[in-house]
């Protein structure tokens, strides 16, 4: 019994739980980006900064933790990291308890007996009451908490994976790592489901009467109980630290393998430095000064490995697209297909993420069953990436039209937001209090719809005598408008189902190559450098992909905003309405990055197959044909399915800057 609890199986269970906890917290963060935008009234690029702060905290210490941690008690270092992650998660939820109640603009009575009955057509513009500065700057706590989460997460991956690879049998290592990565993907399933549940609950639940809330979860002004999920995730992360305190520093090494030796296949991929002797084993004591002196030469040896270096470049390119896409995919579903935040998170958790988990698991299982060596794993990863790229091109055709919003996406002869049909009212153009007219057109507010009076209360409020609804094509009379924006079109619902199906298939196929690709990384380096290699890989990918990708994706999304909210004390707030056609054009970046990945993988294969130069001319013809074909398809498809300045700009960028170097590379002259 004691051998079980101190063995590799127990460590595998503990590491899987830690992976689950950190994945749950990370995915829950991404599920709350729209809630955080609205609650703190900030644009998407700033949300990208907050999301990237996790990577900032991670890169502060990861090189040192990976290098020095491999020579210390790895399980206990992982336990300390889990505790720090839990504390950071609790700090993220702290602003909710420090700021006041959430308030939103509305002209709807909260109840029948309410005396707060604002006229939908006021004679004068009311002066807004400025909010306190604390409400505007409390996002700093979210930023700092996420930084601490990143610091705490640092030792989990490099020290945990290297521990398994050091003490597990070689034929079982890939399967064990596949199990851990599968659990890591199951974590986001529960993270997004938790996000879906919390998004349905009003942010101030327990502090306000729900009868006084006049908006629904589908409203752009709705803010869910974002803070509740962070408290739950923090408790789970804290529990994940407990098993590691009782695990040993090292385990018995299987008789047929040694930490200091490489397999014959590994030896053919590993480039040794003649100036470096690796003196320290993972469990061999060494002074801090000795380890510090050895750090720079060890890092040079690591980066001198061509396979490792090319794999590093490939991962940076791939993660730039994947991180940006995953971060804003729930928001994309909300804005482009008219779904609520709760439903978007539910779909991510129940449909998309399980496909990724199954792909990673079966990728590891296939590698074990087929007994793939390093070259076989690399070829498998290339094939799945290429198929996934082809399928991703069809996303360009799954676009919906912009929502019909008077004065923004469709005109009604307005001058600065005011038309003749609502000129008798003194309307504020900064408000976002949408109503749906009988004509199926959404109006920014009852005032801008020209409504004269209202009946009912709360979510059942109906505005009547709406003059702008009459001028939009319907016969004059007592035309009405109901609270909230108009629902999405049926044809868009059909396209949305196609989008979900293709998303599942593409995610599964790309994920199949995840575990084989990861095994290429850890098998192309010396065993003594394993922790440093994994840590430096995480450091560089998070520095060059994890931090910038959410920021520049958010900045691109901000350029598609059609209706900005204004902060009470001045300045730009959160976006209420996006140009969905331009929004979907941002997917061009994903295609560009996947194509770059393909070209880099081709070069990696060339590095590993120098002995096959006699067949180079035949391979060049094939790759030249494939590369040119992909370029033409990638240009033609977005050009013929999008009609927006952003799509045209991205298309020009791809055509002029990416395709010529790619074809040159494929021709073998790069």
Instruction: Specify the pLDDT at position 475.
Output: 57
Mean pLDDT of 446-459: 79
Name residue 572's beta-bridge partners: 566
Sign of CA dihedral 595, 599, 600, 602: positive
**Which range among 266-275, 517-526, 635-644 shows the weakest confidence by mean pLDDT?**
635-644
Question: Is residue 207 exposed (0-12), middle (13-18) or buried (19+ Cβ within 10 Å)?
Answer: exposed
Q: Helices (H), strands (E): how many in the chain?
A: 27, 7
Pull the structure tokens for residue 541: 């990918």
Provide the pLDDT confidence category of residue 2 given band limits of 50, 70 and 90: very low
Burial 375-411 (b: 16+ CB within 10 A, else e): eebbbbbbebbbbbbeebbebbebbbebbbbbbbbee
* Residue 117 to residues 110, 424, 453, 456, Cα–Cα distance (Å): 9, 19, 10, 11
DSSP symbols for 353-374: HHHHHHHHHHHHHHHHHHT--H
Instruction: Specify the pLDDT at position 226.
Output: 92
Instruction: Specify the pLDDT at position 490.
Output: 64
- Nearest to 522, CA basis, from 153, 109, 125, 165: 165
Say if residues 207 and 404 touch (Cβ distance below 8 Å).
no
List of residues 6+ apart from 439 with CB closer than 8 A: 469, 472, 473, 474, 479
Instruction: Specify the pLDDT at position 5.
Output: 46
CA distance linking residue 198 with residue 207, whole number of Å: 16
Query: 670 pLDDT exceeds 50?
Result: no
- Nearest to 182, CA basis, from 381, 369, 8, 353: 353
Instruction: Specify the pLDDT at position 29.
Output: 92
Provide the pLDDT confidence category of residue 622 given band limits of 50, 70 and 90: very low
Query: 375 pLDDT exceeds 70?
Result: yes
Mean pLDDT of 272-292: 50
Of the two residues 183 and 266, the one the predictor is more confident about is 183
Mean pLDDT of 29-44: 88
Say if residues 384 and 396 touch (Cβ distance below 8 Å).
no
Say if residues 465 and 451 touch (Cβ distance below 8 Å).
yes
Query: 275 pLDDT exceeds 50?
Result: no
DSSP label at residue 529: G
Provide the pLDDT confidence category of residue 125 given band limits of 50, 70 and 90: low
206: how many CB neighbours lie within 10 A of its CB? 8
Pull the structure tokens for residue 557: 């999304």
List of residues 6+ apart from 443 with CB closer than 8 A: 405, 406, 407, 434, 435, 436, 437, 449, 466, 468, 469, 481
Instruction: Specify the pLDDT at position 556.
Output: 85
Counting residues of the chain whose pLDDT is more than 70, the rounded percentage is 70
Considering 70-79, 345-354, 580-589, 632-641, the range whose residues carry the highest mean pLDDT is: 345-354
DSSP three-state, residue 217: coil
Say if residues 159 and 78 touch (Cβ distance below 8 Å).
yes
CA distance linking residue 350 with residue 369, whole number of Å: 28
User: pTM to 2 decimals?
Assistant: 0.73
Query: 301 pLDDT exceeds 50?
Result: yes
Mean pLDDT of 534-552: 83
Say if residues 412 and 468 touch (Cβ distance below 8 Å).
yes
Query: 393 pLDDT exceeds 90?
Result: no
Counting residues of the chain whose pLDDT is more than 90, the rounded percentage is 12
Which tens digits make up the pLDDT trace of 406-434?
888 887 654 445 567 777 777 777 778 88
Say if residues 317 and 597 touch (Cβ distance below 8 Å).
yes
The phi and psi torsions of 241 (rounded to 5 degrees) equal -75, -25
* Residue 583 to residues 99, 319, 348, Cα–Cα distance (Å): 32, 20, 19
DSSP label at residue 245: G
Query: 329 pLDDT exceeds 60?
Result: yes
- Nearest to 405, CA basis, from 294, 485, 505, 343: 485
Mean pLDDT of 568-591: 67
DSSP symbols for 288-316: HHHHHHHHHHHHHHHHT-HHHHHHHHHHH
Instruction: Specify the pLDDT at position 233.
Output: 95
Half-sphere exposure of 150 (CA within 13 A, CB side): 26
Instruction: Specify the pLDDT at position 463.
Output: 86
**Which range among 166-170, 391-395, 543-547 shows the weakest confidence by mean pLDDT?**
166-170
Of the two residues 625 and 461, the one the predictor is more confident about is 461
DSSP three-state, residue 581: helix
Which tens digits make up the pLDDT trace of 51-75?
889 988 887 887 778 777 767 788 8
Pull the structure tokens for residue 312: 């590093």
Burial 45-82 (b: 16+ CB within 10 A, else e): bbbbbbbbbbbbbbbebbbebbbbbbbbbbbbbbbebb
DSSP label at residue 489: P
CA distance linking residue 524 with residue 271, whole number of Å: 9
* Residue length of the chain: 670
CA distance linking residue 625 with residue 636, whole number of Å: 16
Q: For the chain, give the mean pLDDT.
A: 74
Instruction: Specify the pLDDT at position 185.
Output: 76
Pull the structure tokens for residue 598: 């393909």
CA distance linking residue 187 with residue 28, whole number of Å: 10
**Which range among 79-93, 179-193, 441-455, 646-660 shows the weakest confidence by mean pLDDT?**
646-660
Cα angle at 570 between 569 and 574, to 5 degrees? Answer: 105
501: how many CB neighbours lie within 10 A of its CB? 12
Provide the pLDDT confidence category of residue 586 given band limits of 50, 70 and 90: low
Query: 265 pLDDT exceeds 80?
Result: no
CA distance linking residue 467 with residue 209, whole number of Å: 34
Instruction: Specify the pLDDT at position 585.
Output: 55
**Which range among 32-36, 104-108, 463-467 shows the weakest confidence by mean pLDDT?**
104-108
DSSP three-state, residue 40: helix
Mean pLDDT of 290-295: 64
List of residues 6+ apart from 289 with CB closer than 8 A: none
């Amino acid at each position: 019994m004691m051998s079980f609890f101190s063995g590799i199986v127990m460590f595998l269970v503990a590491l899987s739980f830690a992976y689950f906890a950190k994945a749950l917290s990370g995915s829950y963060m991404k599920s709350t980006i729209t809630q955080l935008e609205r609650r703190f009234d900030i644009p998407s690029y700033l949300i990208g900064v907050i999301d990237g702060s996790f990577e900032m905290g991670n890169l502060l210490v990861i090189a040192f933790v990976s290098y020095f941690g491999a020579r210390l008690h790895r399980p206990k270092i992982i336990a300390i990291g889990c505790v720090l992650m839990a504390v950071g998660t609790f700090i993220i939820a702290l602003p909710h308890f420090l700021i006041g109640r959430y308030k939103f603009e509305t002209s709807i009575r909260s109840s029948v007996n309410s005396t707060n009955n604002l006229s939908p057509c006021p004679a004068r513009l009311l002066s807004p009451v400025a909010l306190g500065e604390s409400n505007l700057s409390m996002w700093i706590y979210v930023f700092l908490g996420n930084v601490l989460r990143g610091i705490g997460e640092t030792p989990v991956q490099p020290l945990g994976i290297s521990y398994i690879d050091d003490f597990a049998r070689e034929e079982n290592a890939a399967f064990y790592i596949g199990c851990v990565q599968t659990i890591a993907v199951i974590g986001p399933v529960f993270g997004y489901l938790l996000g879906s549940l919390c998004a349905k609950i009003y942010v101030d639940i327990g502090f306000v009467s729900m009868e006084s809330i006049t908006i629904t979860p589908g409203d752009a002004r709705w803010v869910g109980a974002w803070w509740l999920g962070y408290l739950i995730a923090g408790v789970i992360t804290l529990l994940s630290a407990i098993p590691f305190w009782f695990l040993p520093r090292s385990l018995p090494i299987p008789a047929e393998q040694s930490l200091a030796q490489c397999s014959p296949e590994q030896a053919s991929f590993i480039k040794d430095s003649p100036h470096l002797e690796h003196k320290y084993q993972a469990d061999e004591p060494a002074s801090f000064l000795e380890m510090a002196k050895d750090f720079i030469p060890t890092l040079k040896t690591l980066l001198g490995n061509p396979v490792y270096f090319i794999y590093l470049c490939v991962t940076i390119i791939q993660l730039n697209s994947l991180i940006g896409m995953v971060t804003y995919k729930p928001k994309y579903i909300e804005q482009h297909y008219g779904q609520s935040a709760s439903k978007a998170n539910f779909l991510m958790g129940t449909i998309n993420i399980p496909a990724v988990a199954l792909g990673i698991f079966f990728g590891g299982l296939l590698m074990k069953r087929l007994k793939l060596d390093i070259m076989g794993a690399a070829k498998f990863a290339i094939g799945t990436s290429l198929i996934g790229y082809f399928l991703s091109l069809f996303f360009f055709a799954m676009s919906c039209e912009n929502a019909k919003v008077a004065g923004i996406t469709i005109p009604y002869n307005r001058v600065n937001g005011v038309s003749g049909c609502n000129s008798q009212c003194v309307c504020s153009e900064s408000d976002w209090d949408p109503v749906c007219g009988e004509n199926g057109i959404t109006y920014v507010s009852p005032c801008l719809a020209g409504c004269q009076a209202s009946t009912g209360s709360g979510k059942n409020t109906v505005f009547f005598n709406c003059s702008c609804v009459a001028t939009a094509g319907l016969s004059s009379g007592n035309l009405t408008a109901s609270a909230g924006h108009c629902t999405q079109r049926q044809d868009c619902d059909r396209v949305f189902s196609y989008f979900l199906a293709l998303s599942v298939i593409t995610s599964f196929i790309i994920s199949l190559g995840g575990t084989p690709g990861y095994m290429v990384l850890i098998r192309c380096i010396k065993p003594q450098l394993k922790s440093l290699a994994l840590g430096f890989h995480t450091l560089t990918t998070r520095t060059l992909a994890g931090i910038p990708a959410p920021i520049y994706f958010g900045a691109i999304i901000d350029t598609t905003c059609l209706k900005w909210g204004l902060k009470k004390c001045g300045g730009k707030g959160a976006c209420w309405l996006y140009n969905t056609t331009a929004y979907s054009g941002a997917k061009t970046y994903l295609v560009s990055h996947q194509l770059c990945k393909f070209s880099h993988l081709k070069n990696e294969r060339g590095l590993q197959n120098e002995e096959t130069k006699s067949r180079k001319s035949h391979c060049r013809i094939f790759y030249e044909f494939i590369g040119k074909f992909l370029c033409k398809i990638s240009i033609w498809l977005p050009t013929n399915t999008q009609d927006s300045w952003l799509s045209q700009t991205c298309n020009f960028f791809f055509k002029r800057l990416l395709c010529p170097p790619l074809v040159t590379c494929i021709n073998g002259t790069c």
